[in-house]
Amino acid sequence: MKKVILAALVIGMSGIISANVPVTPEKTEIVNPVGGFVKIVNDTKNDLRIHTGSAHVTLYHGGGSTSVACDEGRKISYSDGSKATGLIFKIDESMCGKTVKLSEYIK
């Protein structure tokens, strides 16, 4: 009788132990196809509102800045606070990891 109970416990425990084996999910790495970020600096004498393709940002004159993912073709536009109003420039691969001065694009 003790052997039957012991055997039942061993079989029952082996089921519990195998059920607790951790399953590791497949790792998914998010990759930016172009890579990196672009820093945008307002080096003009005026405060500017821009739309970065994902957010409306106010950049203060004389050095206000923001960074955005370097997605080729991303539009950087003027903003009225709720919508993009006019294109300033589009991000290209050569801008990745660099600082872009708005004075180079605003006439």
Express as a percent the part of the chain with pLDDT over 70: 70
Distance of CA 104 to the CA centre of its chain: 26
Identify whether 84 is part of a domain.
Answer: yes
Lowest-confidence segment of 8-12, 20-24, 52-56 by average pLDDT: 20-24
Domain membership of residue 89 (yes or no) is yes
**Is residue 50 in a domain?**
yes
pLDDT at 30: 47
**For residue range 24-49, what is the model confidence (pLDDT) as tens digits?**
556 544 445 557 999 999 999 999 99
Number of folded domains in the chain? 1
**Residue 49: its pLDDT value, please?**
97
Tell me whether residue 29 is in a domain.
Answer: no
Q: Is the pLDDT of residue 84 over 90?
A: yes
Q: Which of 107, 39, 49, 37 is nearest to 77 (CA)?
A: 49
If you average pLDDT over residues 78-97, what whole number do you get?
A: 95
Return d(Cα 73, Cα 3) in angstroms, integer: 73
Lowest mean pLDDT among 9-23, 25-39, 93-107: 9-23
23 domain-assigned:
no
Domain that holds residue 52: 37-104
pLDDT of 54 higher than 50: yes
